[in-house]
């Protein structure tokens, strides 16, 4: 990818149950994400972090006037509104926004910002569907809801999210699903989204699946958002995540996926924005998960063995 990559840290953990993902941006920087991008031949500029008050100083205010539960909803909205602005500005400057989370609710901000001036498709690399609404969520954690919020589904009170941006369900493809809540299953089945599960990857191989996912996300859109949740990778390989699910993608499959994205981008300039989320350094072993996050990011930007 030829353009300058602007790194935007979003050290937010309001959307997750377990403390620690707020340290994700530091850990991924420590794993030399900027140098790895330079090695891949792209210019990376670090914009620093959004300022985010610590969760202890806040009240989870679960008594929101909404149906169901969404903890720290106001706080998540505040951060995502600021992130949306930063992402939109970055794109307006002709640069590429790379958002480092933080829990997966940061994707609400990245996607809304990326979709402001474009019809946006997305590839969601994740063990989870993240399509819960406050009414269906078993946990009340907003990191299980970012796709619902971005699509304007569910009762998010009077939040700006209710006004859906230019993201259509049929332009979203999941890759690697393996943990879906009971009520969420119906939401995914009844949606227009395309879902490639781990079984699809077993059967067809990662490269073929990602090629198809790219077809879905580029069809009728102006560009693609890549959302990379590190719990997509098998927890034996990437243990530093708050909601690990066994049976995930291997180290090589993960690289193959991001390499496939970058090949298509090299030919067609399709990727507009990306976020790398859910790295939890407290649960990690020797910063391994953050290192994999940084490596996969470099693969997405064209880093190759030869």
Q: Give whichever of 24 and 144 is closer to ligand ARG, judged by the CB atom.
A: 144
Q: Give whichever of 43 and 139 is closer to ligand ARG, judged by the CB atom.
A: 139
Q: Does residue number 130 form part of the binding site for ligand ARG (CB under 6 A)?
A: yes
Q: Which of 69, 114, 132, 299 binds ligand ARG (CB under 6 A)?
A: 132
Q: Can you point out the beta strands (E) in the chain?
A: 5-10, 44-49, 96-101, 120-125, 167-177, 194-197, 223-229, 271-277
- Over the range 44-80, which residues count as b (16 or more CB within 10 Å of their CB) and which as e? bebbebbebeebeeeebeeebebebbbbbbbbbbbbb
Binding span for ligand ARG by CB under 6 A among 124-132, 190-198, 248-256, 290-298: 124-132
Binding to Mn ion, residues 95-134 (CB under 5 A): 104, 126-128, 130
| Best CA proximity match to 182, nearest among 218, 156, 144, 153 | 144
The conformational region for residue 282 under phi > 0 = left, psi -120 to 50 = alpha, else beta, is alpha
Q: Does residue number 181 form part of the binding site for Mn ion (CB under 5 A)?
A: no
Binding span for Mn ion by CB under 5 A among 64-72, 199-207, 228-236, 281-289: 228-236
Q: Which does 295 bind (CB under 5 to 8 A by kind): Mn ion, ligand ARG, none?
A: none
Q: Which does 181 bind (CB under 5 to 8 A by kind): ligand ARG, Mn ion, none?
A: ligand ARG
DSSP state of 138: S
Q: Do residues 146 and 130 lie in contact, with contact meaning Cβ atoms separated by under 8 Å? A: yes
The catalytic residue positions are 104, 126, 128, 130, 143, 229, 231, 278
Q: Does residue number 243 form part of the binding site for ligand ARG (CB under 6 A)?
A: yes
Contacts of 276 (CB under 8 A, 6+ apart): 28, 98, 99, 100, 101, 228, 230, 293, 296, 297
Find the shortest distance in angstroms from Cβ 145 to ligand ARG.
7
| Best CA proximity match to 217, nearest among 274, 168, 172, 174 | 172
Find the shortest distance in angstroms from Cβ 106 to ligand ARG.
10
Q: Which does 141 bind (CB under 5 to 8 A by kind): ligand ARG, Mn ion, none?
A: ligand ARG
Find the shortest distance in angstroms from Cβ 105 to ligand ARG.
8
Partner residues linked to 226 by β-bridges? 123, 274
Q: Does residue number 225 form part of the binding site for ligand ARG (CB under 6 A)?
A: no
| Best CA proximity match to 117, nearest among 167, 168, 83, 192 | 167
Find the shortest distance in angstroms from Cβ 43 to ligand ARG.
30
Which residues are at the interface with ligand ARG (CB under 6 A)? 104, 128, 130, 132, 137-139, 141, 143-144, 181, 229, 231, 243, 278
Which residues are at the interface with Mn ion (CB under 5 A)? 104, 126-128, 130, 229, 231
């Amino acid at each position: 990818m030829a353009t300058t990559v602007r790194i935007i840290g979003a050290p937010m953990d309001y959307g997750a149950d377990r403390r620690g993902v707020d340290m994700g941006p530091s850990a991924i920087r420590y794993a030399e994400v900027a140098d790895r991008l330079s090695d891949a031949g792209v210019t990376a500029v670090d914009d620093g972090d959004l300022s985010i008050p610590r969760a202890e100083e806040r009240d989870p205010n679960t008594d929101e006037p909404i149906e169901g539960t969404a903890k720290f909803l106001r706080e998540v909205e505040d951060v995502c509104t600021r992130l949306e602005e930063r992402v939109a500005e970055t794109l307006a400057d002709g640069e590429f926004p790379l958002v480092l989370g933080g829990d997966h609710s940061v994707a609400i901000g990245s996607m809304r910002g990326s979709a402001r001036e474009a019809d946006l498709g997305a590839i969601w690399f994740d063990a989870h569907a993240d399509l819960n609404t406050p009414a269906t969520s078993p946990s009340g954690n907003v990191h299980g809801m970012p796709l619902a919020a971005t699509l304007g589904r569910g009762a998010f009170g009077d939040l700006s999210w209710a006004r859906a941006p230019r993201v259509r369900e049929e332009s979203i493809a999941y890759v690697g699903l393996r943990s879906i809540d009971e009520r969420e299953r119906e939401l995914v089945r009844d949606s227009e989204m395309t879902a490639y599960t781990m079984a699809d990857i077993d059967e067809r191989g990662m490269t073929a699946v990602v090629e198809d996912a790219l077809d879905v996300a580029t069809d009728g859109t102006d560009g693609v958002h890549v959302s990379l949740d590190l719990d997509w990778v098998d927890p034996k390989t990437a243990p530093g995540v708050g909601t690990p699910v066994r049976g995930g993608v291997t180290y090589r499959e993960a690289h193959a996926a991001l390499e496939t994205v970058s090949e298509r981008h090299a030919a067609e300039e399709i990727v507009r924005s990306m976020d790398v989320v859910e790295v939890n350094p407290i649960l990690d072993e020797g910063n391994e998960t953050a290192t994999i996050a940084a490596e996969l990011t470099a693969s997405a930007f064209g880093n190759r063995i030869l």
